[in-house]
Amino acid sequence: MQLSLVHNLKTSVERYADNVVLIQAQEQLTYAELWRQTIRIARSLAAVGVGRGDRVAILLDNSAVYVSSYYGILLAGGVVVALNAGTKAKDIVNWIKHSGALCLVTSSRHPEYTNIVAQTERDLVIFDVDGTLSYKHSDARIRSKEEYIDNSADTTSEYILPVYHENDAAAVIYTSGTTGNPKGVTLSHRNLVSNVESILQYLSLTNTDRLMNVLPFYYSYGNSVLHTHIAVGGSLVLQNSLAYPHLILKQIQETRATGFSGVPSTYSLLLSRTKLREHDLSSLRYMT
């Protein structure tokens, strides 16, 4: 199989290295910076034994490290297990066990972090993207941010992309559990690439598109939005809270976003709690 999400990212890096891929608050990340971070993470995962088909769970809010972790896991040959960051430890621990994850990428700032560490198996490697080496002695399983993203590691040499079979597992997404217990849905590389290709076709996305994103990447809709824009060299403005909906409109205006994606309740919130006419939304080309 020649195509995969990692191949899409690598192509965008080659074509648009200096383009901004992610904007969050006052921070921006270019495609070249994202690729370097992705390589560092892939090497850190490989160093703890992650290889083809191994599951690695991500428990993070939308951020640059979430994106580089997602692609870093794939680059290492692994399978991404995307976990709902707003869930309690009991469910998170069950999903980690159910998926057979070898590693967990999370943050010690997560409100359930202590419970998760206490309740998971002793062979689970935990990468704390906000922690430091100073507390490592408390649990040998825990790796610090410095160990996860080694900024001293060489990223100038070419990283050999894994050879994927189109039916190989690429990701596991847990359903919301509306009609029962959440189910782990396994998606293949072909599933993910086909989704990207179909959306690129009907939205005609290009590298000039910039999406105002409020959707969590750990669900299929947000996951799709992430990969489609990266595939064309576009950019995403990340906002993890809808508590102040007028700020969403302000960011659309300030960043000249060309797109916005939401679920029905998102649009209802914007319509009922903001004054649309007070914002210049003329940059928007599409809403989904």
* Tens digits of residue pLDDT in 247-275: 999 999 999 999 999 999 999 999 999 99
Residue 50 confidence (pLDDT) above 50? yes
What rounded mean pLDDT belongs to the chain?
93
pLDDT, residue 152, reads 72
State the pLDDT at residue 132: 59
- Our measurement of the distance from residue 17's CA atom to the centroid of its chain's CA atoms, rounded to an integer in Å, reads 19
- According to DSSP, residue 155 is labeled -
Percent of the chain whose predicted confidence (pLDDT) is above 90: 87
**Model confidence pLDDT, tens digit, residues 162-173:** 889 999 999 999
The band of 1, judged by pLDDT with boundaries at 50, 70 and 90, is: very low
Reading phi first (left if > 0) and then psi (alpha if -120 to 50, else beta), residue 101 is in: beta
Q: Over the stretch 99-108, which tens digit does the pLDDT of each residue have?
A: 999 999 999 9
Comparing CA positions, the residue from 152, 153, 102 lying closest to residue 127 is 102
| Whole-number pLDDT of residue 138 | 63
Confidence category of residue 285, pLDDT binned at 50, 70, 90: very high
User: Where do the H-state alpha helices sit in the chain?
Assistant: 5-16, 31-47, 64-75, 89-99, 113-119, 145-148, 189-203, 220-231, 245-255, 264-273
Considering the chain, what percentage of its residues have pLDDT values greater than 70? 95
Residue position matching structure tokens 């690439």: 193
pLDDT digits (tens, 9 = 90+) for 174-187: 988 778 888 999 99
pLDDT at 137 over 60: no
193-252 pLDDT, tens digit per residue, is 999 999 999 999 999 999 999 999 999 999 999 999 999 999 999 999 999 999 999 999
pLDDT in tens, 31-42: 999 999 999 999
